[in-house]
Amino acid sequence: MREKIGISFDFELEEGEKVLQESPTVVDVEFDKQEDFFQTIVGEKIKGRVLAKPYLTNQRILMWLLLVPFEVAEPKSVWYILPFENIHYMRPGKSGKMSRGRKGLEIEFATPKVGGIASSIGKRLMDKGGITGWIGSKIGKEKTKIWLYLLDFPIWNMNITRILQEKKLI
């Protein structure tokens, strides 16, 4: 039987996936272009705060997110999955635009581009495979950043770096 995690144990891990570390508390999270992130989840481009309960597994970073709009709208909870393969770099002790002086772990990662010429060219090149396919996968992805304001962000940085090295991703 697969392990379940989350506030109400509603997220089922993949076969062979194990939680290596989890935040003991709910923490603030900040997305680059946070209003755009809210638009993809809530359907409106609004300002708000994002809280998370992050989990580090042997396969990916999982976050139960609670999106709390500043305007009149209902909070919404979603699961956010960040595969290790999508991570470009991490910088501990950094903060985003809305940090209020706090430091955290900055993670730059790739997400699939939606629409546009770069997206369609990337998809066509990926279908060819080989080095051309690799270039297509890079073209078809957009870089973005997230800041996790964990109290123990240096430990998270060390553990994620170790996993990335073991998987030969860095």
Mean of per-residue pLDDT scores for the chain: 84
What is the pLDDT at residue 10?
84
Q: Select the CATH number that applies to the domain covering 4-166 from these four: 3.30.930.10, 1.50.10.20, 2.30.29.30, 1.20.1260.10.
A: 2.30.29.30
Residues 6+ apart with CB under 8 A from 104: 28, 30, 93, 94, 95, 147, 148, 149, 150, 153
What is the pLDDT at residue 113?
52
H helices of 2-94, where? Answer: 34-42
Give the domain ranges of the chain: 4-166
Query: pLDDT tens digits, residue range 115-139?
Result: 444 444 445 544 655 544 444 444 4
Q: Higher confidence at residue 3 or residue 8?
A: 3
Helix 116-128 and helix 130-139: axis angle, to 10°? Answer: 160
